[in-house]
Structure 1
């Protein structure tokens, strides 16, 4: 009886360790997407990088300087393509990951993006599609005031 209980306990612990390992791997993968593609894409104005991590159906909502903000992915990428990038302007830029929460195939990252006179707090919803973490929703607010 003790052997069966000990074996069951070891199995439960092994499953918990595997879930923790998977969670850590997913959090790391999302962190890499944010740092290597999302922040870099915004900084450089690189819509190819952004298009790689933003799902085609991504919607963007929030407020900027107190005004409602709602865009489709196409509208957002068009705006990025037609503005001077922070890199080209020589203006400071900083992307910071505040948190990443993962549950199975979904996740939410809270990030801050400082560029030009804006200081954005963002919530980015992720979904793991074809073994890749993609942003499927972006909510922003400008907290510069």
Structure 2
């Protein structure tokens, strides 16, 4: 069935974007992250708003988790794909933080990209 095949391909493509997100965070690779985010995305947490440019600059300036022997414990908790849109809930323990991120993705021109990111630190509760 073509519809099921397309859905499986889209789900796999979204999972690939999420794995690139994890790798980019872990390796401190702003260029890898830049590719999977739409340029007009804003990253939002309670009381915090950052543009993609601001966030990528922060990634460039901070220590690299892989270089300081942090464990790689990122996890996909949930993914919902509906046609050309997806929502992912991911767990991103990094440095002293324990983030849960909600990433909204859209498929445009055949390419999946993150168009929204909301995040919170569970340790801050």
TM-score (norm 2): 0.93
Q: In structure 1, what is the Cα distance between the partners aligned to 2:61 and 2:7?
A: 38
Counterpart among 100, 105, 112 of residue 84 in structure 2: 105
For structure 2, list consecutive stretches of 5 or more residues without a partner in the other structure.
Answer: none
Q: What pairs with 1:9-48 in structure 2 (closer than 5 Å)?
A: 17-35=1-19, 37-48=20-31
Report the count of equivalent residues: 124
Match of 1:138 in 2: 117
Q: Distance in 1 between matches of 2:83 and 2:110?
A: 12
Q: Which runs of 4+ in 1 moved over 4 A?
A: none
1:6 match: none
Contact preservation (8 Å) 1:125, 1:137: yes
Unaligned runs of 5+ in 1: 1-16
User: For 1:44-97, what per-residue CA distance to the aligned partner results, in whole angstroms no more than 9, with x for missing partners?
Assistant: 11011001101101110013xxxx221000110010000001112222232100
Q: Is the 8 A contact 1:93 1:116 kept in 2?
A: no
Larger radius of gyration: 1
Partner SS for 2:49: strand
Aligned Cα root-mean-square deviation (Å) = 1.2
State the alpha-carbon separation in 1 of the partners of residues 5 and 80 from structure 2: 14
Secondary structure in 1 matching 2:25: helix
Is the CA contact 1:95–1:113 (under 8 Å) kept in the aligned structure 2? Answer: yes
Q: Map of 1:23-102 to 2, 5 A cutoff?
A: 23-35=7-19, 37-63=20-46, 68-102=47-81
Q: CA deviation at 1:22?
A: 1.7
User: TM-score by structure 1 length?
Assistant: 0.81
